[in-house]
């Protein structure tokens, strides 16, 4: 298992239902923040973050209860990590500042690809457009 995947697995396992609902309350703010990300080297990052936010939102609001909790917890961790200002790589660096965010998000999407692809199908989202590539 890659170090990033292990990092995600370890931290996602710490996401309790209380933490999930706390992140749900912050989703409007997080969505605005994510929409302002300017990361040309990671062109899918914003769409991937918005997708994960939608998964968490649908679960918390009862619109989709079929996604496994482990996938939801990892999605919450990825959203919180992308929001957090203390990163392994500083976001203000124009060339690689979002590399760690992208790596964490991709690790979550890859780890739960089947569950997220099924979620996308249920909600009429083009999974291929979300992509698990950088």
pLDDT tens per residue, range 4-21? 999 999 999 999 999 999
Average pLDDT, whole number, for the chain?
Answer: 89
> Taking CA 11 as the corner, what is the angle to CA 9 and CA 12, rounded to the nearest 5 degrees?
65
Yes or no: say if 56 and 34 are a contact pair by the CB < 8 Å rule: no
Mean pLDDT confidence for 25-30: 96
Percentages (nearest 5) of helix, strand, coil residues in the chain? 65, 0, 35
Structural domain tally of the chain? 1
Supply the pLDDT for residue 89: 46
pLDDT > 60? residue 86: no
- What is the pLDDT, as a whole number, of residue 63? 96
Please count the other Cβ atoms lying within 10 Å of the Cβ belonging to residue 116.
24
Residue 45 half-sphere exposure toward CB, CA atoms < 13 A: 25
Domain that holds residue 10: 3-130
Q: 57 pLDDT exceeds 80?
A: yes
Whether 52 contacts 105, CB under 8 Å: yes
The whole-model pTM stands at 0.90
What is residue 6's predicted lDDT score, i.e. its pLDDT?
Answer: 95
């Amino acid at each position: 298992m890659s170090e990033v995947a292990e990092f995600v697995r370890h931290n996602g396992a710490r996401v309790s239902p209380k933490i999930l609902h706390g992140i749900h309350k912050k989703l409007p703010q997080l969505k605005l923040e994510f929409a302002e990300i300017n990361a040309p080297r990671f062109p899918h990052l914003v769409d991937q973050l918005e997708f994960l936010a939608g998964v968490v939102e649908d679960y918390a609001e009862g619109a989709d209860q079929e996604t496994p909790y482990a996938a939801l917890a990892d999605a919450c961790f990825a959203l919180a990590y992308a929001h957090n200002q203390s990163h392994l790589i500083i976001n203000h660096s124009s060339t690689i500042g979002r590399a760690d965010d992208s790596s964490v998000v991709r690790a979550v999407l890859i780890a739960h690809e089947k569950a997220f692809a099924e979620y996308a199908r249920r909600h009429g989202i083009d999974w291929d457009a979300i992509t698990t590539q950088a």
